[in-house]
Amino acid sequence: MAKKLNIEQATQSLVLLAQQFPECFTLATPQPLKINIKQDILEAWGSKPYLSKTKLQQALFYYTHSAAYLNAFKLEPVRVDLQGSPVEDVLNSDRDHAAKQYMLRYGKPKAKSPRTSVKHDKNSSAPPQPFTPRAETQVKIIKTK
């Protein structure tokens, strides 16, 4: 997408889609959508679209990349159309792709920053010194009224 996704705008667009197609866009429990459902939405709207193509695309992107939607591929055996009717089976390749996308976006643990540790000389009898920051690195907090 060329433009940055505006989450608030995408959410508003999703609410509109959920109002118009409640059997298809269930925000609480998403279901895998029919492939190319964007075209079905545009055809259903006819010559008076409720959203621009860009806003529709952003809303669908936001919906289909959510954790709940990606998890739906584990649970739901079929994809649904605008009326919520099953139209095609969810393929194993679709499930695998959704699982990979989920791991990329949500399941991957944050990388830990490398810690610099002070090494203690094992041959030395002196205990390791506790770390104390130098005076120039200490921050003084000043309360304002």
Identify the CATH number of the domain in which residue 27 sits: 1.10.1710.10
Instruction: Write down the pLDDT at residue 21.
Output: 95
Task: Report the domain count for the chain.
Answer: 1
Residue 97 maps to a domain = yes
pLDDT for the residue numbered 1: 44
Domain membership of residue 26 as a residue range: 7-107
pLDDT in tens, 101-137: 999 988 764 555 455 445 555 566 666 655 555 545 4
Is 102 within the bounds of a domain?
yes
Name the nearest CA neighbour of 81 among 39, 34, 46, 44. 34
115 part of a folded domain = no
Whether 46 is in a domain gets the answer yes
